[in-house]
Structure 1
């Protein structure tokens, strides 16, 4: 316990010293998680006298609370004004004390924060929000249901060469959804545009989500393959995650609608097909820009 005592004493000494008259505040923006053999992100925002503090040298010393497992040291780099981030690989979940050593020229400030580190099977992180392996499995199952239902409908409607072409298309889609990296990519795209929609002030009412979920339930009831896949996945767990998925889709739909309106205003005489093409082009360009603006980390080695 000697090291923990030293961390606590260092923080107490800092508080007693009063930080030489300056008002320093630290807030945790991204808390690390535990995943065996995987480093995760730790990010903090530092302010001095109420303003983002830039140009600092920041070191984070991790020590597990109430246990003597040694210290883990990570250097944090400034990503934007006052925001410092670094990766740390922690050996277990639980409560961790973090002593932050902040060097501002000749002045060194120390702050102590406590984190509750949780185990996560993470596939990706977007601005500190996790896309888990469970999310990936749900997405794959969902699209298996959608594609299998579409294939059932195609078999009822078409015959001969046209049927073969359409089945071949859906089989390629089915193979793509079986690849975890493809599923993660699509989930990142969806989350990114949902975040953009929220930045634009859009929201989704729960009754709207309810109606959309009920619509999907009725749709799946008519497909034997869908019913089988739902039973295998677990119906209760599937519909719980479907609600979250539907909310993301509805948020992203608002951004798509904005692109459609822009095209209609800029090109009032285009055909429906041309309008959709131009709107899709705008949407894709916006998606690339949005993804570039986010902090995205991938953890795909175990998928």
Structure 2
């Protein structure tokens, strides 16, 4: 009954707004998620008469569909023209009705949207895209594999004081993998540059991912430590995450390649080591600029 009443009221107000000659459209850009004790972003794009509607006062009233959990009210603020967003902490996953109240001067209209809110174990959000806790734990495992495999190779090929020194270094690196913040930092940087690559028009095809996956499977098969860690993680889950990771790496590689081309154009005849040095500097500057331009929210608790 409650849901029917919200629907009737929204329809009535939309009808009244239509009588005033304005055509309002709303599209959901970011759906909030459910994580206990955590607020998440809700964002909508609003148009009036086919143009982004700026300068509105927008309120979102959340109610659980077919359940009585009361109302949750969130004020939405305008960022880009016509794009309104705010934070909301929902008490559970499921289907939610959201009544959007939009005021433009003396004109008021309402729209009803329905969202499917999912439980997510989120570590961070970048422009509405989630980096999950599972992804962070995967990368921690991946780093363990890389470091353990390096240590395995060193033990096979080196002896004496140099062996002890190098193993000590890698053991410190191995211990650092237990800290999720460093893994999350790396993933934020990788996701950020992958997004930039897509903004530049780059894409990664299935065949390119397949080729890189085959290389990595062959590489891991040569290390007993890697095979053990993959089995412990769960082979199916590991390779699924690795595929996602490979796609991001290949996307970001396009941005790196652009930096190398730019340095070579600016400094023809420069030695390859110098090219890489200056390309790395440009890449890092671009990374900082890209991260500053993104909406990044962190949810580290529980990792």
TM-score normalised by L of structure 2 = 0.96
Cα pair distance change 1:268/1:162, threshold 3 Å = farther
2:12 maps to which residue? 13
Contiguous gaps of at least 5 residues in structure 2: none
1:26 maps to which residue? 26
Report the Cα offset of residue 202 of structure 1. Answer: 0.9
| 1:112-160 deviation line (CA, Å, top 9, x unaligned) | 0000000000000111111111111111111111111111112222222
Supply the distance in 1 between the matched residues of 2:89 and 2:234 (Cα, whole angstroms): 33
Shifted more, 159-168 versus 88-97: the winner is: 159-168
Aligned residue pairs, count? 302
Q: SS state of the match for residue 26, structure 1?
A: strand
2:52–2:82 contact (8 Å) kept in structure 1: yes
Supply the distance in 1 between the matched residues of 2:15 and 2:260 (Cα, whole angstroms): 59
Supply the distance in 1 between the matched residues of 2:10 and 2:225 (Cα, whole angstroms): 60
| 1:8-41 deviation line (CA, Å, top 9, x unaligned) | 1221102322431111111111000001111110
1:135 maps to which residue? 135
Is residue 243 of structure 2 the alignment partner of residue 221 of structure 1? no
2:46 maps to which residue? 46
Supply the distance in 2 between the matched residues of 1:153 and 1:280 (Cα, whole angstroms): 28
Q: SS state of the match for residue 80, structure 1?
A: coil
List aligned pairs for 1:191-206, cutoff 5 A.
191-206=191-206
List aligned pairs for 1:94-109, cutoff 5 A.
94-109=94-109
List aligned pairs for 1:29-108, cutoff 5 A.
29-108=29-108
1:248 maps to which residue? 248
List aligned pairs for 1:262-273, cutoff 5 A.
262-273=262-273
Report the Cα offset of residue 165 of structure 1. Answer: 2.9
Supply the distance in 2 between the matched residues of 1:277 and 1:155 (Cα, whole angstroms): 30
TM-score normalised by L of structure 1 = 0.96
Supply the distance in 2 between the matched residues of 1:86 and 1:6 (Cα, whole angstroms): 25
Report the Cα offset of residue 162 of structure 1. Answer: 2.3
Contiguous gaps of at least 5 residues in structure 1: none
Is residue 119 of structure 2 the alignment partner of residue 119 of structure 1? yes
1:165 maps to which residue? 165
Report the Cα offset of residue 268 of structure 1. Answer: 1.6
Supply the distance in 1 between the matched residues of 2:74 and 2:113 (Cα, whole angstroms): 15
Supply the distance in 2 between the matched residues of 1:216 and 1:15 (Cα, whole angstroms): 56
